[in-house]
Structure formats: structure tokens, C-alpha cells
Structure 1
Amino acid sequence: MEDGTEFATGLKGRLSAKARILGKDGTVLRWDESCAPDPLATVFPQCEEDVVETGGGHGWRVRNHRDIDVVICLRDMNAVEVNIEDRTVTFGGGTIVKELTDAATASNLEVTTGICNSVGVLGSTLCGGIGRYIGKYGLAIDNLLSVNFVDATGKFYRNVNQESNGDLWWAIRGAGTSFGVVTQATMRAHPQSNGGLSWTGALIFGDPSKLEAVVQAINDLEMDENMCVHLLFTCLPPTLAPAIMVVPWYYGSEGEAEKAWKSLLDIGPTIKETFMAPADRLNDGNDPFGEKGGRKPGVGLGLDTLDPEGYRHIWDLYVHFLNENPDATRTVMVAECYPKAKTLSTPAENAAFAHRDSKYEVICVPWYTDETLDIRADAFAQSVRNIWIQKCCRPGKIQSYPAFSGLHEPLESLFGQQDRIEKLLKIKKQWDPENYWGSLMDVN
């Protein structure tokens, strides 16, 4: 496409009255600008018919971003409907986590979502969907009941599920960002426990010598379904000095939580800020991480363990990278650990999502604004990835959670054995032969 104006003029008359088409000045700000497309036009549909006329996709990172002429932003399609009697929620393709969580909480229900308020629910769900409640309810894809779907030809499919189209349903649940546009989804909701209140907060370990003890304590945890924990390397205001932060969570009373997390508390955090939080405020502490803009060429993996010696090496690399690159003080390292018994109760062959047995999901995010740092940032991220592979993964087993993966992650890391990849590519060639949506895979 050479002329965005000509495209917009031809399309506008086929869209609903409130639909918008913007030129280059209307490009949507993305979480990671290092791989953001530079389209000639950005379309903001208001209804499913608008998507049928245009096409679109999901996901914050796009492999073939330099060849994209048109971006569809589903953000205005964000209506949420809660059915209390059926315990389901139906939401539009542009709904973000905060909107879905608020609607469910208002009805004394809870849903499986990611942990960042600003993330699109479907962007995370279609990659598997991990979050605090998976210990109780399983992955988001395991709670997905049906979707409405627009394919590469613009054909609209309502209520896609196992019965209506088993192959597409299998592929969508784990690799859905590469098959078409999900305009609406329906998901199970669950009654709240403990009035929706849970214990969380931040434990800051200002003494880096305690790192090995913290890592080992997390490794030794026997978590029940009401627990999860995040380990972060981050720079804290006002000094922006590198710090070790642990964010524990317990779905129960403060007394129960203190007992469950005693091994970490006994190490002696420099700062302990914990509190009881309602479900609709649980993600607020992650808002800085969800801020859009900046360059964030991160990499992620699924790990079997957190090796204390390996994490000491990663900490040293992290501190050195920050010292050498003052523009990168927002660089962050995150390891997320969730109880997986419920997730593992669903057979792996049930969906395209492959890595139900990863104990940890980790991501390294160099964060800066100066594009001349790209090469150094990529080298740093790859060095961290190599340590994870050498120290924290079983030999020959490299797994990557699709929502955390880098741009060049091999399909084997994302989707497992060759037979699974062949099945995915076969379905891909059926539903998207021209590769309009290549965020996770390309058709050869």
C-alpha cells in the first residue's frame, strides 16, 4: 500500500459512523516501541462488522512489524457483560485487565487474568493466560468458553469452541495472536473467597548479599493454590539504586499469610510493606511496569528452578548494565512463580499452549529511550537468557511463555515438539495463508 489516504477514503464508507481511521499521526503508542509498526493508517473499529471490513490482530510484539501498512486498534470495543447466574463474563476484544477485573469484582466474582491493569485481556489470554488465580482455576485458556472470530478473508465466525471448530479452537488457545482477530470472548467467572480480600505487598532486600538466601527460599516453597510470588530486580525511587524486590501474595487472612511466607520474612527484608487488598486493586502496584512507550526488547523463558549462583551472575550483569547505561534505569527482571497443580490437571494436548510444567515464567526487559542502545541491550538480554538456559533449565529443554517471548524465539521453544508445530502450521496455512498475523509464527 502506497497511499494511506486512498485506503482510508475507500474504507470509511463501509464502517460504522463512530469508527475512526487515522494516518501516521494516529499510530497507537505500544508498550515496546523498539518493534512497533509504522503503519500508513490505524483503524479504530466500534463493532464486529467494522473488524470484518478491515481485519486486525492482538499482541504487543510483532515479528514482521516493518511490513505492516494497517493497524487495527480494538481498544474501543471494550464492553464487559457479567452474567451472575451463569458465572460468566463476556467482553470485547479491546478490553483491558482493569476493566474486566472491575466488572467481575462489582459482582463478587473473579476471573483469570494477567497481573497488569493496562494489558489487553485477549492479548494475554490467547498466549495461555497466567496470573494470580491460576492455582485455583487454571490458565485463562482453560476458562475460555467461546470466542467470536474474524479470519484473514474477513469472514466472521460466532461462538467458536471445541464443538464448532476443534482445530481452530485448539490453535487459538495458546497461539491465537497469529490466526485472526478475536472480537469477543466469553470466560468462566468464579465466586470470590474471603470477601475478595488478599494479602500482598513488597519485601525490599536492600542488602544484595541476601540474594542467594532469597532465591533459595523461593525455590524451597511449597505453594498451595492461594499463593504466588514474584521476584524482581528493579531500580527504586528516589535514588534509582538497583534493588531486590519480592512480591508475595496470599488469598486469605494476614495471619495465614505471615505463616505461609515465614521463610522469606525471616531473611529480614530492609523494607516490608504488606497489606490486605481488594481484588480490583491487586494489580495497581504493577502500573509502572505497564506504562507504554520506550524501548523494551525483552526476552523470556520458562524455568525449572532458580539457581542461586546463576542469579548472582544475573544480578552482577544487571548492575553493570545499569552503571554503563544511565538511560536504562527502568530495566527490570521478573520471575513469576505460581502453583501449577490445577494447570497440570488439563492435558497438554488439549490446546496449543505447550508449557504447563514450567515452574517459573521469567522475563528480562531492558528499558530505555535511546535507540543507539539497542545492540547493547540485546546483548545484555541474551546473556541473561543464556544463564537461565545453562543454570535454570533441564538440559535440552528450552521453553518460552509466548506472551514473554522475544522476537526471534524458535517455534520449538514456544510450542514444544515437532508434531505440535506441524499441527499449528497446518492450521495456520488454512486460516491465514498470507500471514497477515505473524506475531508468533510465519507461514513458510
Structure 2
Amino acid sequence: MDALQEHATELAPRLSSQAKVVGKEGTVKRYDESTAPDPTFTVFPHTEEDVVETVRYCREKDLKCFAQSGGHNWRVKNHNSIDVVICMRGLNHVSIDESEQTVTFGGGIIVKELIDAVTEKKFEVTTGLCNTVGVVGAVLYGGMGRYVGKYGLGIDNLVYVNLVDSYGNIHRNVNGNTHPDLWWAIRGAGASFGIVTKATMKIYPQSKNGLSWTCTLIFTNPSRETIEKAFRAIDATHFGETMCILFSFAFIPPMGYPSLVVALWFYGPASQAERAWELVLDPSLQPNFKQAAILPADRLNDGNDAGCVTGFRRPGAAMGIERLDIAAFYEIWDLWLEFGQNEGTETSVVLVERFSKKKSLEVSDEETAFSHLHRGIVYEVSIAPGYRDKRLDGKAQDFTNRARDILIEKCSDPGKIRSYPAGAGFHEPIESIFGGEERVQKLLAIKQKWDPENYWGALFDLL
């Protein structure tokens, strides 16, 4: 009997009838395959109790396990030591309490499933911008998205969670009253403290019938003058609570032309949107392509699906910056073009996002592990090389590192490195993720209490 058969024979009877234990053929693709685990087996739980039993079994057998839903966290730090992946996708139930204005969902739900459920009931919820991202993972590391300006971050809208700790014990209804230290830590450091099997979040009645204005502008083979004009227009725009923007360097199919892609969003009618975005919509910018539309809430993320595909190698980095330094982004454009000359790198992008942060900043810096270091950031930047040939790993990492260094040197305040938790690199100083030595020491103390062996060390070493 081989190892897989032995584990399956022992574990399966402890699980519900709908749970599955599979071998290599069941390994789930991740957004960044360059650090994906290569597990002995994968478990697909169907209930919270299945997660509990799987963790307990792994501890009994001295196996390292790792939970994922959408699989979009970039860097799995200890990927080479992971024996078992727990794919949470079977825990994707949703229930809505309209009177309390909350939604409760399983730890495996993805953004599209949550949006569809709340939209059907004429509500809206703070989620990310990619349909296939796991909600729990995105929310616990901050939770940025279109509605941040109106309702704050995802972590600020959490009501409580159920969490399985490193010993396989489940803690139900974890919140600020029942487990104040754990509640502070998981809202920002998330999976470093356990597996969330269920969560409840606030939801809000739709306004404007849930309809939003969107507009995509594409500048193909843009000149430096065009990039500068577009960036200056973006930077000079006042970002109200009903606005957000995504702009990127991307190779546009089918010809793969290097392009600047600008995606605008406004929660309201076209007439108001055009006034709010008038600087970016200035006809003198002369985009090669422009398309505006009014979309319902359940269609807002559809345009981002192509950029969220799993199965590529993406040793990237995500960080916050203070300003759009034009010279810095010229350098990054050149680095991106250089890396894009390698065969099979056409999915590589440099993505910049901006949201209104006023609502987020209303939350005290002492309330969550997600500090004001990130809450007040002006722009979020993701450097995301994309390819399948692992022989390009070195070049990709060099591209990421050089772009990161430019952002720190030219677009950040002196001494401030703001690495977004879900996209921090392997060697990123922990202080640049959580906001200073005092906050790190607080996390370390909580970690010693809840996970003294650092069993949950896949994303950060907090020991």
C-alpha cells in the first residue's frame, strides 16, 4: 500500500460521505504556480467537521497542511514542505439575513458566488475585483474593492468567523468580544492563525438599483507623452467614495500590442460619472479604444476575468505607493517590455489601483493588524510577470525586484515600504507588511499563544 492509499484509507472514514481524498491528479492550480505546493494528496472537505478531522489527522501523522479556496495568494512561503492541500471550495454555502443585513458564507466561497447571492436579494457587499478569488483570503488580508469608499475594507465589515486552529480545534463565533487578541490578528494576518471555515459580513441595501457606470480606455503602443498625460489626469482627479480606477501595462490580444489600459468605475449615472472622470476622459488623450457601459452589480468584475486565470507562474509583488512618479513608471514600462520579449510572457502585467480611503481611515489603527500603513495608501501596485516555463523564474524575479526597488525609491516616502500582505515577497521585512516593530511584537505574542509551533507558516514567518 503506497502513502496515498494508506492516508486515504485512514482519513476517509473520518470525513463526511461527500468529502474526497485524491492524489496528484487532484492538485488544484494556483494563481502563482511558481510557489504552489506539490502535495502527497488533496482533501476536498464538504463540512466544517471535515476540515477539523483533516487538520487533526495531519497533526497525528506529522503532515503539514495548507488550505486554499481561490488560490490567489501569491507566495506560499513553505510550499516545499506542504504535504496536504485542503481545497475549501466545497464549503461555499451562502445564507442572507435580510433583517440583520448580514451574509454568512463558507470558507471556500469565491467572489462571484458571494456577489450573485447578495445581488439576488438587492444587497451589496465589499469584495475584491476578481470573480475567482476566494473571499475569505482576500478579506482577511485587507479586502479592497469597488465599495471600499462607501463601506470600508472587507475586514472592517466582518462580524465573526469560525476558525480551526493548529491543533484541529474549532472556535466558533470568533469576534472582538469572545477572542479579542485573535480577532485583532486575523484581520490583517489571516491564515497565519488558522483556517476560517465560516464567516459573517455586513451587507448593504443596493442604491441606484445596483447599476454602475464603467468605461475602458486602451492606449495601444502609447508614447511617453501619452503615458504622462494619462497619469497626470488620473493623479489630478478627486476620488470620491463612489469611484475607483484600475490601470495597467498589458499586452492586448490578439496581436499582443503593449498598451496602457485604464478602467474607470463610478457608482451612478453616466452624466455624473463623466463629470467625475472628466480629466481622464479628456478627448485630447486620444485613446485607441473607448467603451462605456452601465452594468449591474453581478457583472462588474467580468472584465477582469482574463487577468485572474490560475496555472501561470507569477513570482510578483504587491505594494503601496504615495505618488505616480512619471520617470519611475517609464523605467518600469521599459522593464516590463524587456521581460515581455521572452516567449510565453504575454500575460505579464503591471497593475495600479486607486480607491477612496476616507472610510477605511475612520477605523483606528489599533483595531486590526491591517495598519494605517496600508489603509491610507494612495495607490496599490502589483508587479505580475506571467508565464509557464519555469526556466524564466530568474528573469521574472529580477523584473519584480527591479520594479519594486524603483517604486520604493521614487514613489514612496523615505523609510516607508508598504508591502501588501497577500502579495509580499519571501524576503520582505515583516515590519513593512504590518506597520512597525510594536505591531509585529503584538502579532508575535498572539502567534505564540495560538500557534506556538508556527504550523500555519505558509504565508508569513511570525516566529
Length-normalised TM-score, structure 2:
0.94
Secondary structure of residue in 1 paired with 2:414: coil
Match of 1:57 in 2: 67
Match of 1:86 in 2: 100
1:357 matches 2:376: yes
Alignment counterpart, residue 100 of structure 1, candidates 94, 114, 127: 114
1:26 matches 2:26: yes
**Contact 2:78/2:459 (CA < 8 Å) preserved in 1?**
no
Identical columns (%)? 51
Alignment counterpart, residue 323 of structure 2, candidates 291, 296, 305: 305
Aligned-partner Cα distance in 1 for 2:223–2:315: 26
TM-superposed deviation, 1:190? 0.6
Name the amino acid aligned to 2:223.
P
Match of 1:217 in 2: 233
**Contact 1:175/1:440 (CA < 8 Å) preserved in 2?**
no
Aligned-partner Cα distance in 2 for 1:358–1:182: 27
TM-superposed deviation, 1:31? 1.2
Count of matched residue pairs: 442
Secondary structure of residue in 1 paired with 2:418: coil
Aligned-partner Cα distance in 1 for 2:138–2:362: 21
TM-superposed deviation, 1:221? 1.5
Residues 386-406 of structure 1: CA deviation (Å, up to 9, x unaligned): 110011100000001112222
Match of 1:46 in 2: 46
Match of 1:228 in 2: 244
Match of 2:451 in 1: 432
TM-superposed deviation, 1:344? 0.3
**Contact 2:163/2:194 (CA < 8 Å) preserved in 1?**
yes
**Contact 1:229/1:248 (CA < 8 Å) preserved in 2?**
yes
Match of 1:73 in 2: 87
Secondary structure of residue in 2 paired with 1:53: helix
TM-superposed deviation, 1:227? 0.3
Name the amino acid aligned to 1:306.
L
Secondary structure of residue in 1 paired with 2:85: strand
**1:392-407 mapped onto 2 (5 Å cutoff):** 392-407=411-426
TM-superposed deviation, 1:18? 0.9
Secondary structure of residue in 1 paired with 2:419: coil
Match of 1:337 in 2: 354
Length-normalised TM-score, structure 1:
0.97
1:208 matches 2:227: no
1:240 matches 2:250: no
**Contact 2:357/2:375 (CA < 8 Å) preserved in 1?**
yes
Name the amino acid aligned to 2:206.
Q
1:389 matches 2:408: yes
Aligned-partner Cα distance in 2 for 1:253–1:142: 28
Alignment counterpart, residue 272 of structure 1, candidates 281, 290, 294: 290
Larger displacement relative to structure 2 (98-107 or 432-441): 432-441
TM-superposed deviation, 1:319? 1.3
Residues 235-273 of structure 1: CA deviation (Å, up to 9, x unaligned): 111110110011110000011111111101112222111
Structure 2: where are the runs of 5+ without partners? 56-65
TM-superposed deviation, 1:191? 1.0
Residues 121-158 of structure 1: CA deviation (Å, up to 9, x unaligned): 00100101000000000000000000001101111111
**Contact 1:161/1:169 (CA < 8 Å) preserved in 2?**
yes
Match of 2:180 in 1: 166
CA RMSD of aligned residues (A): 1.2
Residues 349-393 of structure 1: CA deviation (Å, up to 9, x unaligned): 110012211111110110001100000110011111111001110
Aligned-partner Cα distance in 2 for 1:439–1:130: 22
TM-superposed deviation, 1:443? 4.5
